[in-house]
Amino acid sequence: MSAIIGVDIGGTKLLAVRIDSAGSVAQEYRTDKPDDGSMMATAIANAVPELCGGDPIGALGVGVAGLVDHKTGTFVWGPHVDGVNVSLRDELESVVGSRVTVDNDANVTAFAEHRIGAGRGSSAMLMLTLGTGIGGAMVFGGEIYRGRGFAGEFGHARLARGDHQCECGQRGCWETEAAGPALERLARELIESDPHGSLAGALETRPVAGPAISAAAVAGDPQAIALIAQVGEAFGHGLASVITMFDPDRIVIGGGLGSIGELLLDPIRRSTGAARYAGAHNPLPTIVGAELGEHAGAIGAGLLAVEERAADE
Ligand SMILES: [Zn+2]
State the pLDDT confidence band at 116, using cuts at 50, 70 and 90.
very high
CA 295, 239, 156, 164 dihedral sign is negative
25-53 tens-digit pLDDT: 999 999 999 999 999 999 999 999 999 99
DSSP labels, 62-116: EEESSEEETTTTEEEE-SSSB-SSB-HHHHHHHHHSS-EEEEEHHHHHHHHHHHH
Fold of the 121-291 domain: Nucleotidyltransferase; domain 5 (3.30.420)
3-111+294-312: which CATH number, 3.30.1130.10, 3.30.420.40, 1.10.1740.10, 1.10.3470.10? Answer: 3.30.420.40
pTM of the model: 0.94
**Cα separation, 114 vs 41, whole angstroms:** 27
Cα 155 to ligand 1 centre (Å):
7
Is the distance from CB of 34 to CB of 14 less than 8 angstroms? yes
Rounded mean pLDDT of 273-283? 89
209-227 tens-digit pLDDT: 999 999 999 999 999 999 9
Q: Which candidate, 79, 58, 59, 84, places its Cα nearest to that of 9? A: 79
Domain ranges of the chain: 3-111+294-312, 121-291
CA 272-149-72 angle, to 5 degrees, is: 150
Rounded mean pLDDT of 120-131? 96
Cα 170 to ligand 1 centre (Å):
5
Cα 282 to ligand 1 centre (Å):
30
Cα 195 to ligand 1 centre (Å):
31
Cα 79 to ligand 1 centre (Å):
12
Which residues make beta-bridge pairs with 82?
A: 36
**Cα separation, 181 vs 216, whole angstroms:** 17
3-111+294-312 and 121-291, same CATH topology: yes
Cα 171 to ligand 1 centre (Å):
7
53-81 tens-digit pLDDT: 999 999 999 999 999 999 999 999 988 88
